[in-house]
């Protein structure tokens, strides 16, 4: 019997939990969650609700349930040192230690690593610990991206042209960042199409999963504020409609070099997920950022089509034997749409901003997969919180068929909710292809 500890309570972790439970091994799932996810709870042997920064509580739960290994879903427990605490107890994890999670938590660590080890993918950038020199650097670039050092819950990265316009505004934001963070990284703004490449790593071998494109903007047509992600898609050929085949290979090659560099730099093998946010530009692939975990929603695109036993994958990551297993995915397209409270991601003064914590009804979602995120199951039904509520995933032989399945399922979730009906549809995909052609020209 294998006892698996899962840490996390989102739709990403619901998809991970489902993949674990599909394993051929005899196992029990124990889940440590910040809030009760009814999907995860329903397939767990035992759950514990606690804080991800409460290392004592995590350790006690792991000890009490005699877990063999842990899978860490979100970035917060990685940043609070959960993997290190488990390691001290002799419990290995799929997820990096706090130091190696700097790949995500410190933008300057990652930029410097690529520069030091001569790894391609960095845009023009500079790291500042004070305001000196920032104004001069801004004048060298056409547009900038300001990135605070440290976790900001996806809210800290600000792009010129989107979140602010003038250099004066950029300087004011840098000043604000430096008051709260040790340093600020300024990247040149890049033009192109983005993709997420979630790679598995045992410290030496890196394996790419199919590329996915996320949709960060809240509204149809990529309008409105940035969110954690409103939905995502992947294609049956394990490429994306605007990509060249070599793009995935380049993203993987960069990630492989980064894994090697991490070992040289720290003497420690990176075990877990290296999720590269890449952008295809006129001058090739550039790295926007790494995350030290699976993407949310992107995990929901890859887990339902994973053919290989995920517990075997986890064991290979832990034991350093990823080179010995063949990780396969079904040749299927997937479309994930997040159903969110109407007020999700909106400024406080927006008329819909308060429409959260309401009850929702889930109708017939057909063949779509359903993954719970921020919902609370009470006696009288399901209630949303302020965050993304439910992810629905359509899976089919083609993208547009998968989209129809996901769209129908999303429309079956009733209440004061919203989703993006355009994700995975032909007009939006065509727009991405035209944009990429224009950039490449
Ligand atoms: N899809 C964005 C993220 O997981 O950070």
Residues 87 and 130 in one domain: no
Q: Which atom of ligand 1 lies nearest, measured to the CA of 196?
A: 1
Mean local confidence (pLDDT), 105-125:
96
Under the banding of pLDDT at 50, 70 and 90, the label for residue 222 is very high
Does the beta carbon of 391 lie inside 6 Å of ligand 1? Answer: no
Does the beta carbon of 295 lie inside 6 Å of ligand 1? Answer: yes
**What is the Å distance from ligand 1's center to 354 Cα?**
24
Establish if 17 belongs to a structural domain: yes
CATH at residue 154 = 3.30.1490.20
Establish if 230 belongs to a structural domain: no
What predicted TM-score, i.e. pTM, was given to this entire model? 0.96
Mean local confidence (pLDDT), 337-351:
88
Establish if 21 belongs to a structural domain: yes
HEC assignment per residue over the chain? CEEEEEECCCHHHHHHHHHHHCCCCCEEEEEEECCCCHHHHHHCCEEEECCCCCHHHHHHHHHHCCCCEEEECCHHHHHCCHHHHHHHCCCCEECCCCCCCHHHHCHHHHHHHHHHCCCCCCCCEEEECCCCCHHHHHHHCCCEEEEECCCCCCCCCEEECCCECCHHHHHHHHHHHHHHCCCEEEEECCCCEEEEEEEEECCCCEEECCCEEECCEEECCCEEEECCCCEEEECCCCCCCCCCHHHHHHHHHHHHHHHHHHHHHHCCCCCEEEEEEEEEECCEEEEEEEECCCCCCCHHHHHHHECCCHHHHHHHHHHCCHHHCCCCECCCEEEEEEEEECCCCCCCCCCCCCCCCCEEEECCCCCCEEEECCEEEECCEEEECCCCCEEEEEEECCHHHHHHHHHHHHCCEECCEECCCCCCCHHHHHHHHHHHHHHHC
Residues 81 and 132 in one domain: no
Mean local confidence (pLDDT), 210-223:
96
Establish if 266 belongs to a structural domain: no
Over the chain, what is the mean pLDDT? 95
Nearest CA to ligand 1 atom 3: 295
Establish if 64 belongs to a structural domain: yes
Domains in the chain, number: 2
Residues 84 and 168 in one domain: no
Mean local confidence (pLDDT), 210-236:
95
**What is the Å distance from ligand 1's center to 11 Cα?**
12
Mean local confidence (pLDDT), 343-363:
82
Residue 150's pLDDT is 84
Establish if 341 belongs to a structural domain: no
Does the beta carbon of 231 lie inside 6 Å of ligand 1? Answer: no
Mean local confidence (pLDDT), 262-275:
98
Establish if 12 belongs to a structural domain: yes
pLDDT at 320 over 70: yes
Mean local confidence (pLDDT), 68-79:
98
Residue 218's pLDDT is 94
Residue 354's pLDDT is 66
For residue 88, the enclosing domain spans 2-94
**What is the Å distance from ligand 1's center to 66 Cα?**
31
Does the beta carbon of 291 lie inside 6 Å of ligand 1? Answer: yes
Does the beta carbon of 289 lie inside 6 Å of ligand 1? Answer: no
The domain boundary, picked from 166, 188, 210, lies at 188
Residues 181 and 139 in one domain: yes
């Amino acid at each position: 019997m294998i006892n698996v500890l899962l840490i996390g309570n989102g739709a990403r972790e619901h998809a991970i939990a489902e993949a674990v439970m599909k394993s051929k091994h005899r196992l029990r799932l124990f889940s440590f969650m910040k809030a009760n996810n009814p999907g995860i709870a329903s397939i767990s042997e035992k759950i514990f609700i606690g804080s991800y920064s409460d290392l004592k509580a995590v350790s006690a739960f792991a000890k009490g349930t005699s877990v063999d290994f842990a899978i860490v879903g979100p970035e917060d427990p990685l940043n609070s040192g959960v993997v290190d605490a488990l390691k001290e107890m002799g419990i290995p994890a799929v997820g990096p230690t706090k130091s190696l999670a700097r790949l995500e938590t410190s933008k300057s660590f990652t930029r410097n690593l690529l520069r030091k080890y001569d790894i391609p993918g960095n845009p023009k950038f500079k790291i500042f610990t004070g305001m000196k020199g920032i104004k001069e650097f801004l004048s060298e670039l056409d547009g900038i991206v300001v990135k605070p050092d440290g976790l900001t819950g996806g809210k800290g990265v600000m792009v010129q042209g989107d979140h602010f316009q003038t250099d004066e505004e950029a300087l004011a934001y840098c000043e604000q960042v430096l008051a709260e963070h040790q340093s600020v990284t300024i990247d040149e703004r890049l033009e192109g199409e983005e993709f997420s490449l979630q790679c598995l790593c045992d410290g030496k071998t890196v394996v790419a999963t199919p590329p996915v494109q996320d949709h960060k903007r809240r509204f149809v047509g990529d309008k409105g504020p940035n969110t954690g992600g409103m939905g995502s898609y992947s294609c049956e050929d394990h490429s994306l409609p605007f990509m060249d085949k070599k793009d995935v290979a380049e993203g993987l090659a960069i990630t492989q070099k980064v894994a090697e560099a991490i070992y040289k730099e720290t003497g420690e093998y990176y075990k877990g997920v290296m999720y590269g946010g890449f952008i295809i530009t006129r001058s090739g692939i550039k790295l926007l950022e790494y995350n030290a975990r699976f993407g949310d929603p992107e995990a929901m695109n890859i887990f339902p089509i994973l053919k290989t036993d995920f517990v075997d994958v986890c064991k290979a990551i832990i034991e350093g034997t990823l080179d010995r297993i063949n990780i396969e995915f079904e040749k299927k397209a997937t479309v994930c749409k997040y159903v969110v409270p109407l007020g999700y991601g909106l400024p406080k003064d927006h008329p819909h901003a308060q429409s959260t914590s309401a009850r929702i009804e889930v109708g017939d979602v057909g063949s779509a997969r359903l993954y719970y995120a921020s919902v609370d199951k009470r006696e009288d039904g399901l209630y949303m919180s302020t965050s993304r509520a439910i992810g629905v995933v359509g899976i089919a032989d083609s993208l547009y068929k998968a989209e129809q399945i996901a769209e129908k399922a999303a429309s079956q979730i009733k209440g004061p909710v919203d989703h993006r009906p355009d994700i995975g549809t032909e007009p939006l995909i065509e727009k991405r292809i035209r944009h990429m052609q224009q950039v490449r020209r």
